[in-house]
A and B are shown apart, each in its own frame.
Chain A
């Protein structure tokens, strides 16, 4: 079964600094990967997704992620963060072997400080 691991539970960073949130998935024949952002007391908003094609995926709010099959990773990056990026970020993988369920990582709390 598919599993997703987010290596950092908390990432503090200063405003305008670059950030990388790490995500690894268990290998699978085919994999669809997602990054979601959750602001306090809200649902999940899709940042970006990888289904196929180019391994570099650009999303909303200036975020991008790179699919690396050899390292089974899908790390999320932003070159310059803002205070408003402070939120919880979830990496997820779609597992069609489990009926199309989204398998979530544990989440990474990004805290942007002035």
Chain B
């Protein structure tokens, strides 16, 4: 199957700083990428959907100015958590798909904000 990578796999930062997470499709062109957030012992919550070259579509309740998503190429999307606070600590997972095909998930990024 297709491979999606995320970097970094974990990050610890101080409150008030910004953190960037990368999501890459390694062997296919990801026309659409999704960003999810997962709290411990809970399901995945979709944050936003991004199509290459377009602005991301955010789910209700997700602050677009806080969670900046860029999908500048067919293999890379980034999520930047701006002015991170402890409540932003979570497991962030991206997924990608080419056209209307299956979604492939990245391994996730554990963010801890001190």
Residues of A near any B CB (own CB < 8 A): 36, 41-46, 49, 90, 99-102, 104-107, 109
Contact = CB atoms under 8 A, between A and B. Distances in A.
14 contacts: A36-B105, A41-B108, A43-B6, A43-B107, A43-B108, A44-B44, A90-B43, A99-B49, A100-B100, A101-B46, A102-B34, A102-B103, A104-B44, A106-B43
Given A99-B49, A101-B49, A102-B103, A44 B93 contact: yes
Contact of B105 (A44, A105, A106): A44
Nearest 6 CB-CB pairings of A with B: A44-B105, A43-B105, A43-B107, A104-B43, A43-B108, A107-B43
Given A44-B95, A90-B44, A106-B43, 11 more contacts: A41-B108, A41-B110, A43-B106, A99-B57, A101-B34, A101-B49, A102-B34, A102-B103, A104-B43, A107-B43, A109-B41
Specify the main secondary structure of chain B where it touches its partner: strand
Contacts, number: 43
Contacts of B107: 42-43
